[in-house]
């Protein structure tokens, strides 16, 4: 369970919430903003209450790009201090990165920082054209495909999770067992430049390689749901269609019975390519992207360029 915001550190009862969740057997994680409220004392208190993981945002490889993206001077340096504190106190550290066309070339530099910080999980978020995302510059489906292949190329360096790009699971499956990946999946200009930049930033000590972690099999309403600050439940934080309120029904009841959540767990009824794709049960597409672009959460995901073999 991730307590997010806004900034969850604004809640004076946060330690109580963490202790309660822990006592109910939940693995509690926190997603704070980097502000003066994020202190070592509070981190220690929340860790003592049972919190296990903290996620911080890093959207640029340098102070100039991250501060510009966040619109706050100095937040890159403060994030570096906070990330080290999080590790020292004993949390697992997750770094969240939003990819836009303007910042995509920062990814290799961000990867370097992710590795230096001892990050447990790098969560790469593919922009949904909703809310603030409308103002930012999302990648095309072809560019997104290239970035997902690059992420898989480096997934033996750090565990990687994609948010709102479940077709990363399709890519992992397509690549499994393929010996000559570059022939099977020709390297386009974006992936070539990401590779070159990766080779440049990861000079020196050869980074420790590990078995790539299998991409997590969750999607909107399927293994995941979002509860907002007034108790409304959504399939995800980026799919603004409420399916109930925890003030009126229990969360498990909403999760099991809400019609939209049931539909989101039935990929055979999805529209277009997603509905006939051979990867629909493991991928299913970004339902938030489908909704943001078409107004229908069950429509084809326009951020994926894959043409199903069964089509
Ligand atoms: S077409 Fe849809 S289900 Fe198939 S890989 Fe792309 S997003 Fe996933």
Residue 206's pLDDT is what? 64
Ligand 1 midpoint to CA 303 (Å)? 9
Atom 5, ligand 1: which residue's CA is nearest?
Answer: 167
Phi, psi of 95 (to 5 degrees): -110, 130
Six-digit token string for 21: 């969740």
Is the pLDDT at 311 greater than 60? The verdict is no
Q: Which residue pairs, CB below 8 angstroms and at least 24 apart, start in 218-223?
A: 219/166, 219/264, 219/283, 219/284, 219/287, 220/264, 220/286, 220/287, 220/288, 220/297, 221/255, 221/258, 221/260, 221/261, 221/264, 221/265, 221/287, 222/264, 222/265, 222/284
Give mean pLDDT, residues 67-80. Answer: 90
Distance of alpha carbon 208 from alpha carbon 139, whole angstroms: 30
Q: Mean pLDDT across the stretch 222-228? A: 95
**Dihedral angle of Cα 270, 276, 282, 283, to the nearest 10 degrees:** -60
Distance 100 CA to ligand 1 centre (A): 20
pLDDT of residue 212: 72
Ligand 1: centre distance to CA 134 (Å): 22
pLDDT score of 310: 62
Is residue 305 within 8 Å of residue 278, measured between CB atoms?
A: no
pLDDT at 210: 73
The whole-angstrom distance between residue 242's C-alpha and the CA centroid of its chain comes to 21
Atom of ligand 1 nearest to the CA of 305: 6
Cβ atoms < 10 Å from Cβ of 184: 10
- Cis peptide bond upstream of 6, omega within 30: yes
Instruction: Report the C-alpha gap between 275 and 301 in whole angstroms.
Output: 10
* Å from CA of 275 to ligand 1 middle: 8
Q: Average pLDDT of the chain?
A: 93
Indicate whether 131 pLDDT > 70.
no
Whole-number Å distance between alpha carbons of 56 and 83 = 7
Task: List the single range of 48-62, 65-79, 84-98, 219-233 with lowest mean pLDDT.
Answer: 65-79
Percent of the chain with pLDDT over 70: 95
Ligand 1 centre to CA of 162 (Å) is: 14
> Pocket around ligand 1: residues whose beta carbon is below 6 Å from it?
167, 170, 273-274, 277, 279-280, 283-285, 301, 304, 306, 308
pLDDT-derived band at 133 (thresholds 50, 70, 90) equals: low
pLDDT digits 0-9 by tens, 240-283: 999 999 999 999 999 999 999 999 999 999 999 999 999 999 99
């Amino acid at each position: 369970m991730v307590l997010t915001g806004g900034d969850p550190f604004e809640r004076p009862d946060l330690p109580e919430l963490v202790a309660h969740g822990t006592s109910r057997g939940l693995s509690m994680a926190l997603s704070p903003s980097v502000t003066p409220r994020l202190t070592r004392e509070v981190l220690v208190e929340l860790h003592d209450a049972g919190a296990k993981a903290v996620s911080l945002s890093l959207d640029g490889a340098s102070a100039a790009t991250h501060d510009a993206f966040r619109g706050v001077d100095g937040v890159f340096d403060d994030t570096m201090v906070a990330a080290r504190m999080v590790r020292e106190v004993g949390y697992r550290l997750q770094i969240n990165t939003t990819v836009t066309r303007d910042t995509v070339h920062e990814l290799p530099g961000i990867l370097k920082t992710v590795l230096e910080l001892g990050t447990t999980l790098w969560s790469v978020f593919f922009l949904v054209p909703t809310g603030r995302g409308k103002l930012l510059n999302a990648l095309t489906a072809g560019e997104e495909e290239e970035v997902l292949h690059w992420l898989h190329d480096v997934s033996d360096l750090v565990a990687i999770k994609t948010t709102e790009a479940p077709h990363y699971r399709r890519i992992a499956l397509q690549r499994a067992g393929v010996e000559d990946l570059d022939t099977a999946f020709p390297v386009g200009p974006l992936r070539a430049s990401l590779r070159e930049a990766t080779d440049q930033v990861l000079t020196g000590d050869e980074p420790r390689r590990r078995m790539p972690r299998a991409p997590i099999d969750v999607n909107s309403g399927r293994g995941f749901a979002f509860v907002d600050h007034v108790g409304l439940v959504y399939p995800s934080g980026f799919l603004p269609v409420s399916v109930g309120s925890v003030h009126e029904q229990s969360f498990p009841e909403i999760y099991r019975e809400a019609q939209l959540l049931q539909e989101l767990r039935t990929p055979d009824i999805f529209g277009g390519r997603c509905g006939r794709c051979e990867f629909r049960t493991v991928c299913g597409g970004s339902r938030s992207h489908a909704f943001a672009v078409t107004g229908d959460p069950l429509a084809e995901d326009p951020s994926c360029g894959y043409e199903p073999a069964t089509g």
